[in-house]
A and B are shown apart, each in its own frame.
Chain A
Amino acid sequence: MTAVLALAATPTTARRAVPFLSLLGRGTDVVSWHRTAEAEPPAAVLATSTTVLHGLPEVPTAVWVDDLTGLRRAAADGVEVALSSREDLVDHGAVLVPGSGIDVARWPVLPPVARAEQRRALDLPEQFVVAVDHREPTDDIVTILALASAAVVTGPLLPLALALGTPVVTGPDTARRFGLQAGVEVEVASGAAAADEAARSLAAWDLGAAALSRRGRRFAEAHLDLAHPAAAVRHRLGLGALPVLGPEGRLAARLDELATPADARIRARADEAALRFLAPHQGAVSR
């Protein structure tokens, strides 16, 4: 029988749970707490605020907290695990869930060489530079980010661009907000004209683009991946390990078992191998 994971939320905080719940609930039946009467009793609950803890069933519960007061209240209510996007609360026992986190494993990395191959195959320009400030990852935008030689990305799709290995130019504010270093994971430029110019230069600089692509992906894996907190929270809620999806997932799981560091070269090689050999018929945006 499939375990039921219930979501308990206030109307204003429900949305923020979706990306994390999409990972946390894998292999379970995800339901609204107020609909659990129609399903099996929940095995665990994910609450988006301490204000909804009252009246929840006596099952392992994870709750989002925004400050130390919330963390103390969660502890007083006996919840198993507190979640927060604030790094300073980690020292007090909260599990860090990046506010802009994504499921990095869902997006196979496309290094510049693979992008160039795809562009040739698709009869696209040799150099393909774009600017993306969209808020939602539509199929078109994902495809563009996956095929671009370089992209100016200033909106909430920056984590996706990094996960895909897109060589990125962004603004100083965005870089600061994500903790990205200029010239290391991204290029930074102020103003649209300067950013466009920087992206064009980056597209023409193979080595620089390749280095940014690689380090951007590693940054996404290390700092923006929701899989790490999801795995930890599942364990503490008694939901077991995250189901491993697909051949790339199995490869990553074996590397995890071997305690392979997130920035190990073997992980990049495994990603490349998965891209090139395990799914050779997938398109540029294999999702």
Chain B
Amino acid sequence: MTLTHPAIDADAVARLRRHLGRPEPVGPPSALVPIATPPATLGDRARALAGRVAAPLVERARQELARAAEHEQAALHAELHALRAELDRTRTTHAAELAALHEQLRDRP
């Protein structure tokens, strides 16, 4: 399930579920989970079990990485906006200083 509404936080949902005694989702959508064929050997069964156990963790790690990147990107955008704004302020201030200087010096030989 993808949570996209800004008012919905995945961690908050998880806490709410725990508070309500609801079971945690067992893993990613079934379409992403390979349908296991009955394992023929003990080794195959162990590998399949490890895969099932690891899948939610891998998915969680992937989500966390994506979320961290989003925060970083938003911060960079904000910083870029701030720098552009400051550049514009500085440009106008310099132009004003220069215009004032020209007016101050205009009668000088």
Residues of chain A whose beta carbon lies under 8 Å from any beta carbon of chain B: 6-11, 14-15, 17-18, 21-23, 25-35, 48, 103, 106, 243, 245-247, 249, 278-282, 286-287
Contacts and interface: CB of A to CB of B under 8 A. Distances in A.
Given A11-B106, A17-B100, A246-B84, A22 B78 contact: no
B88 interface: yes
Given A11-B103, A11-B106, A26-B88, A281 B79 contact: yes
Contact of B96 (A21, A27, A33, A106): A21
Interface of B: 75-76, 78-79, 81-82, 84-86, 88-89, 92-93, 95-107
Contact of B82 (A9, A18, A35, A282): A282
A23 B85 CA distance: 12
A152 B38 CA distance: 78
A287 B103 contact: no
B92 A14 contact: no
A286 B78 CA distance: 12
A7 B100 contact: yes
Nearest to B86: A287
A164 to B, nearest CB: 16
A18 B100 contact: yes
Contacts of B76: 281
B103 A14 contact: yes
Contact of A247 (B78, B97, B99): B78
14 contacts: A6-B99, A11-B104, A14-B104, A15-B100, A21-B96, A22-B92, A25-B95, A25-B96, A26-B89, A28-B92, A33-B103, A34-B106, A245-B89, A246-B81
B89 A35 contact: no
A279 B106 contact: no
Given A14-B103, A279-B78, A281-B75, A30 B96 contact: yes
Contacts of B75: 279-281
Contacts of A278: 78
B103 A245 contact: no
A11 B107 contact: yes
B74 to A, nearest CB: 8
Nearest to A244: B85
Nearest to A249: B85
